[in-house]
Structure 1
Amino acid sequence: MTQPPKTEPDEVMAAIGAAVEQGRAGDRAAARETLTALWDRTGGHGDALHRCSIAHYLADLQDETTDELLWDQRALAAVTGLDDERARRFHDSLQARAFLPSLHLNLADAYRRTGDPASARHHLAAATTDVDLLPDDDYGAMLRSGIDKVRNALATGSTHPLQ
């Protein structure tokens, strides 16, 4: 019998999760407001897992690509302060490096949409570096598919949002 993953209660991560669900349910403005308040509360020097997660999800809730890009940059900057020990206190299967494919993919797509293909290619290459750390599940498949979609969009010169 396998044991369930060990986790440490984390009220900020729970609030982040609730805001993400709120955004996915269609209330993007309220989710953005909640996550912005959490960002303000954790500050620019708070817990790296919190900052990375908040910025990552806030990027997805922006209406303008330039604002999305700013939050994606903040998420990548925050992950540099995240180590496996801290990640595993939240969930024992997490590795800090495993965050990188998603963060770089988001940056690649945002740079592509802002018309900066050189930066987009740089981040797309970085996304593929740690792709082997992605799980062999729906999440991993989604990111691998996203890498292919951004690669194809770059090849055609498209700056349009992807599905």
Structure 2
Amino acid sequence: MTDDRMADIYAAVRLGGVNRETARQALRMLWDQLGTDGEPLHRSVVAHHLADLQDTAEGALLWDTRALDSAFVPGIPLGDGLLGFLPSLYLSLADSHRLVGDFDVARMQLALARGHASVLADDAYGRVIRAGVDHVATLLAAESTDRVAC
């Protein structure tokens, strides 16, 4: 069975490689369509990718926070998709806190990313997230607020 909403989300994400503003608009439209009662995984994925498309560290932090908050809905258990996504959500939030100079919170979020990394498979995605954790840890050790590719 296919997830049409997820297909819509990833189509919007792919627009980011062509036109960031168009991708932002498409993802914001999806965010609005999902509303507060939308599927937690869908809301988290949309917000996570909107964070990547922000022009400021503060904007990215806002959307990374929304992405993580969207994962946790009272009374709804985390599905496998969200469990596997948590390391990435915490990693992104750690990096956003680092970018705004909030190093203590960034370290805490990075520790959560590491703690959740055990759910990741030893595949390309898992290796990318683990490498990202190591990269952000290095940047945090230097207390860098520079924007760099992770």
2:31 aligned with 1:39, yes or no?
A: yes
Larger radius of gyration: 1
Residue 18 of structure 1: CA displacement? 0.4
Match among 14, 22, 27 for residue 15 of structure 2: 22
Alignment gaps of 5+ in structure 2:
none
1:1-163 paired onto structure 2 within 5 Å: 8-23=1-16, 25-81=17-73, 83-84=77-78, 87=79, 94-163=80-149
Per the TM alignment, residue 109 of structure 1 is displaced from its structure 2 partner at its CA by 0.4
Structure 1, unmatched stretches of 5+, are 1-7, 88-93
Deviates more, 1:115-124 or 1:47-56: 47-56
SS at match of 1:130: helix
Give the letter for the 2:4 counterpart.
Answer: E
CA contact (8 A) 2:41 2:81 kept: no
- Does the CA contact (< 8 Å) of 1:53 and 1:75 recur in 2? yes
1:5-29 Cα distance to aligned partner (Å, 9 max, x none): xxx3322211101011111x23111
User: Structure 2-normalised TM-score?
Assistant: 0.92
After superposition, give the CA deviation of every residue in 1:52-79 in whole Å (9 maximum; x if it has no partner).
Answer: 1110111111111111111100110111
Matched with 1:3 is none
Q: Any idea what SS the aligned residue of 1:105 has?
A: helix
Matching residue's letter, 2:132 = G
Query: 1:28, 1:61 within 8 Å by CA — same for their partners in 2?
Result: yes
Counting matched residue pairs gives: 147
Moved over 6 A (4+): none
* In 2: Cα distance, 1:95 partner to 1:16 partner: 15
The two structures have a TM-score, normalised by structure 1, of: 0.85
Paired residues of 2:31 and 2:46 also in contact (CA < 8 A): yes
Secondary structure class of the residue paired with 2:5: helix
Counting aligned pairs with the same residue, the percent is 44
